[in-house]
Amino acid sequence: MSVIKIKPMSGNHGQFLMFIGLVSLLVTIALSHQWWAEIKLVLMFLGVVSVVCFFIGLVKKLEPEYSLLLTKKGIEYQHKYGKWQVQWLDIQRIGNVSITVGLDKRTLPYVGIKLKNELPLVNSLSRRLASRLPHEQRPLTTAAVIQNQLTIEQAQINFTPFVTSDKQELKGPIAFCMHHVHALSVAYGYHIFIPASALDRPVNDFISLLKDCKRHTEQNPNEE
């Protein structure tokens, strides 16, 4: 099995936003030479929007080229704040993340990964990313509280030490993140949540790809 590199579709938006922002700014500057006195406020607004658009695109372009690497051993998630890695053998289940609203089951824009235990994530999660993930995944926490899948107390930020399944006592950003991971696992049944914005295809297609990779590895353990 060769390495499968996942380049997020959202990354393509960065270059487009930079182009639109730059063109809009140039047009605004050109118009200001002739129409500044008449439509000064409009031109100022367009200028600000153009600059904001350009810098949003620039931020997207500065993110890692590949969001995920699928290797013979497992999955590596790459983020501008760090990364995590898990092996296929550590994964128990891969599936859709969903909530129940009334009688309807609604799928959320994430791929869920349930681990056999949390240790692979603890051992590979970078500290900067650990500080960031709970904030990026706040919509998941909020949805769980609204649908009574978590209490407000369970969803609160927790800076106390976290004790792992092998009795390690974690502190700092990793502990903060693992309390969050535990809360979401209670709500949704998964430890890891990969956002749709990090994917290069629809969520269901990516879930099928991950399952195929895991199955292939399990059936061909000695393959190089």
Least confident of 39-43, 93-97, 119-123, 134-138: 39-43
Cα dihedral sign, 90-91-92-98: positive
**What integer pLDDT is reported at residue 11 of this predicted model?**
57
Q: Which residue has the tokens 């053998």?
A: 89
Cα dihedral sign, 27-28-30-31: positive
Q: Which domain holds residue 50?
A: 9-61
Q: Is this model's pTM higher than 0.85 or not? A: no
Q: Is residue 4 part of a domain?
A: no
| Mean pLDDT of the region 109-128 | 92
Domain count, the chain: 2
pLDDT tens, residue by residue, 124-164:
999 999 999 999 999 999 989 888 888 888 888 888 999 98
Q: Give the CA distances from residue 106 to residues 96, 140, 175, in Å, rounded to whole numbers and listed in that order.
A: 10, 13, 30
Strand-pair partners of 114: 93
- Exposed e or buried b for every residue in 141-178, given b needs 16+ CB within 10 A? bebbbeeebbeeebbeebeeebebeeeeebeebbbbbb
Same domain, 91 and 191: yes
| Mean pLDDT of the region 44-58 | 68
Q: Is residue 2 part of a domain?
A: no
**What integer pLDDT is reported at residue 39 of this predicted model?**
73
Q: 97 with 188: CB under 8 angstroms?
A: yes
Does position 219 have pLDDT exceeding 90, yes or no?
no
Same domain, 185 and 149: yes
Residue that wins the pLDDT comparison between 146 and 16: 146
Q: Which residue has the tokens 């978590």?
A: 150
